[in-house]
Amino acid sequence: MKKKIVYRFFIFVLFFIVSASGMGIYAHMVAKQLPGEIYLQNNRITTLQLGLPVTAENDTQKVNLSRPAAFAAEQTGSYPMQIKLFGVFDIRTVDVNVVEPDYVYPCGFQIGLYLKTDGVLAVNTQSITDIYGNEVNPCENIIRQGDYILAVNAEKVSSKGTLAEAVKKCGGTEVVFTILRNGQQFDVSVTPVMDEGGNYKIGLWVKDDAQGIGTMTYIDSSGGFGALGHGISDETTAGLLTIHDGRLYKTKIVSIIKGTEGTPGEFIGTIDYQEKNFLGSIRKNTVSGIFGTLDKNLAEEYELEYMQVGYSHEVEKGKAYIRMYTDNSYEDYQIEIDHISYGGQKNLTFTVKSPELLAMTNGIVQGMSGSPILQNGKFVGAVTHVFIDNPTKGYGIFAETMLKEGK
């Protein structure tokens, strides 16, 4: 009898543990499907349709979000809302932002990019053959790939040239480098060595700039812009570039390499860095795109359409459009939004449906990052990436994420 009781107790405990684990996993999955923020338009009724077994609660009301729910907002501001699974388990707090309708100019034209790093970026270290024939690596285990060198002996470093000159002048004495690594700034010391040619070197490969072609996403009424929908990273270190500043230029697309399975296509273009082609200044390089200012008269030059911003809760699966500026006018190419995710930067998964775009590019190619995504007459997102194994499919980021980062 005692053995039966112990056995039943063991089964009960096991069942409880498995149930609790399952509930925890399910709650985590539901929480990932919830937006971190919800935007409601002031003095308008907004209907939310999350289709999840959750309730939204605050100090005054409780709303079932498993079915369409109408919200009336009468005062701008930000308000926390507690989300409960099955109306019982707290799984997330969502910020409800009551705002006035936001409008921007969705773009879709290609731009040339030039960025200057904040200091110089360490790409790699290597050994040097010194005057005695020894292989020496002065920076090994001191300066790492991805470090930014901000100063040498307390003097600011702004380019590869100023770094090389500082090392050359040291005369073989110890050099103090001010390093930025993972957001932390500190000093390290390196002693240059004289190579076989009689020159002092430290065996460090660095870079101080980056160039490329991307797509302008939007221009706001004050001349602020957002582009790309993702950050610019260094190819060697794979880290997001920390920039001092940057510039935008007009670019000319001369050919398009179509994407194939396993090989992304790309826009091939030229950038003329003459002042007459200058468009604007880059002030931020973030995971959500690049942001800065330009001449707001560009909206008139490109005959862009002023359009309302659609927020994440308004995006739905189904028909949408990618806007691209070609042959001196913009064209909207049909896509199908297949999946919506509220976490990270890959919020939208879509498939290109437009026969015209498929004929031109075979889907999404490099250089299209930043192309605006439109749905139901609103600007809702931007293209960010292409599927490597299927160029007809791509990822997108919510418009609200870019706009928030750009402000």
Of the candidates 33, 70, 38, 37, which has an alpha carbon nearest to the alpha carbon of residue 51? 33
Q: What pLDDT, on the 0 to 100 scale, is given for residue 222?
A: 92
- 273-320: pLDDT as tens digits: 999 999 999 999 999 999 999 987 888 888 899 999 999 989 999 999
Domains, the chain, with CATH or none? 32-99 (2.60.40.420), 103-114+209-406 (2.40.10.120), 127-202 (2.30.42.10)
Q: Which of 28-32, 171-175, 304-308, 377-381 has the lowest mean pLDDT?
A: 28-32
pLDDT digits (tens, 9 = 90+) for 162-188: 898 888 888 889 999 999 998 899 999
Separation CA 17–CA 89 (nearest Å) = 17
**Of the candidates 299, 320, 293, 303, the residue with the CA atom closest to the CA atom of residue 399:** 320
- Report how far residue 381's alpha carbon sits from residue 370's, in angstroms, rounded to the nearest whole number: 9
Tell me, what's the pLDDT at 3?
Answer: 56
According to the model, what pLDDT value does residue 392 have? 96
Count the alpha carbons within 13 Å of 3 in the hemisphere toward its beta carbon.
0
pTM for this predicted structure: 0.84
pLDDT in tens, 105-159: 999 999 999 999 989 999 999 999 988 889 999 999 999 999 999 999 999 998 9
Backbone angles phi, psi at 138, to 5 degrees: -60, -30
Kindly give the pairing relationship between strand 318-326 and strand 329-340: antiparallel
DSSP letter for 168, please: H
**Strand 289-294 relative to strand 307-308, pairing:** unpaired
pLDDT, residue 35, reads 74
Both ends of the chain: CA-CA distance in Å? 71
